[in-house]
């Protein structure tokens, strides 16, 4: 059965008041998880944002049930040892609810704006692969790690304190690409996360991931499958129409939309289609962070069809 959670774009005006309220609502109403993006900004215009790992530390302290994590943390932003240390310690603090999403980084403007080198795509994937190798080995092995890569080098590094959870927090590899992202997920990840895909495209990537897992000597169930997808839910037709004003929604079948859009019955149908495509969980991108009424509708009328609310 597919699990349903939330995904919050942290660079779209996320404040402590909003973050606290969203976490509490997710915890109280039965969402499986709350993930958030890791960006300084995606402007213009630039808006409020909270530093990702600071906000996840807060999430670990004020929640007791939901899973959470970055979706995803660019390996251009931080040295992989720093990211691994923070993730492991937040996982310990939350008693095993942290998930570490990693990706290449893609938004050139924010890199230039804040003085972060923005490499070509090939280099960004090289850095991601080395970061995945370092992170998995630091999480897994208690022996000091010496690593000589093209972009990162370690000499006798050990992750202390050791992660309480065996193997450390699960690693989520984000990306739709079948030539680079999926092979990396098959080698290193505990979960693969796509974004803005139709059920048909999810099924294509799931089948390809199964093949890659087998070629890497891992079982097909070794990697969970998830998707980040925008959601617009209306209590009724009038409420939905109001929320869709100014939104671009495809005119074809709802089951082929790359958003979950509709009243509760339509949302249920669309989410079921993703479950049938092989997803283990769906992170619904909640664009209006103040739309608590919509979350209550989603929790009361949609979630019970997929997991206990």
Q: Give buried/exposed letters for 18-48 (b at 16+ CB in 10 A, else e).
A: bbeebbebbbebbbbbbbbbbbbbbeeeeee
Q: Report the pLDDT value the prediction gives residue 250, as an integer from 0 to 100.
A: 55
Q: Report the pLDDT value the prediction gives residue 254, as an integer from 0 to 100.
A: 46
Q: Could you give the CA distance from residue 282 to residue 272 in angstroms, rounded to a whole number?
A: 11
Q: Report the pLDDT value the prediction gives residue 47, as an integer from 0 to 100.
A: 94
Q: Could you give the CA distance from residue 76 to residue 60 in angstroms, rounded to a whole number?
A: 25
Q: Report residue 69: phi and psi, to 5°.
A: 165, 180
Overall residue count recorded for the chain in this entry: 309
Contact 260, 230 (CB under 8 A): yes
Q: Report the pLDDT value the prediction gives residue 255, as an integer from 0 to 100.
A: 43
Q: Report the pLDDT value the prediction gives residue 245, as an integer from 0 to 100.
A: 84
Report the candidate in 44, 56, 48 with the shortest Cα–Cα distance to residue 99. 56
Taken in order of first residue, the domains within the chain and their CATH numbers are 3-305 (3.20.20.30)
Report the candidate in 72, 6, 95, 3 with the shortest Cα–Cα distance to residue 289. 6
Tell me the three state secondary structure of residue 67. strand
Q: What is the mean pLDDT of each run of 10 residues along the chain (309 residues)?
A: 96 96 98 97 92 98 98 97 98 98 95 96 98 98 98 98 97 96 98 96 97 96 97 94 75 60 96 96 95 96 87
């Amino acid at each position: 059965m597919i699990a349903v959670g939330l995904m919050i774009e942290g660079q779209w005006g996320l404040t402590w008041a909003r973050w606290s309220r969203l976490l509490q609502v997710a915890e109280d109403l039965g969402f499986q998880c709350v993930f958030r993006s890791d960006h300084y900004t995606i402007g213009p215009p630039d808006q409020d944002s909270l530093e990702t790992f600071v906000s996840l530390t807060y999430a670990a302290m004020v929640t007791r049930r939901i899973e959470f994590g970055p979706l995803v943390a660019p390996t251009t932003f931080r040295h992989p040892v720093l990211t691994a240390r923070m993730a492991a310690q937040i996982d310990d603090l939350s008693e095993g609810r942290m998930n570490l999403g990693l990706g290449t980084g893609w938004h050139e403007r924010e890199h230039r704006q804040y003085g972060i080198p923005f490499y070509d795509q090939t280099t960004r994937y090289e850095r991601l692969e080395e970061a995945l190798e370092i992170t998995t080995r630091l999480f897994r092995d208690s022996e000091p790690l010496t690593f000589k890569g093209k972009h990162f080098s370690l000499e006798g590094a050990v992750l202390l304190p050791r992660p309480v959870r065996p193997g450390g927090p699960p690693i989520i590899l984000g990306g739709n690409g079948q030539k680079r992202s999926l092979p990396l997920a098959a080698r290193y990840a505990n979960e693969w996360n796509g974004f803005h895909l139709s059920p048909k495209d999810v099924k294509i990537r799931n089948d390809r991931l199964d093949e890659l897992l087998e070629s890497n000597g891992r079982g097909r169930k070794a990697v969970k499958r998830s998707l980040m997808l925008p959601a617009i839910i209306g209590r009724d037709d009038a409420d939905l129409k109001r929320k869709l004003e100014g939104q671009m929604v495809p005119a074809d079948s709802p089951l082929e939309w790359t958003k979950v859009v509709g009243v509760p019955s339509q949302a249920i149908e669309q989410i079921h289609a993703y479950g049938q495509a092989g997803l283990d969980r769906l992170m619904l991108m909640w664009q209006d962070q103040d739309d608590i009424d919509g979350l209550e509708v989603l929790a009361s009328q949609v979630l019970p069809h997929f997991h206990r609310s």
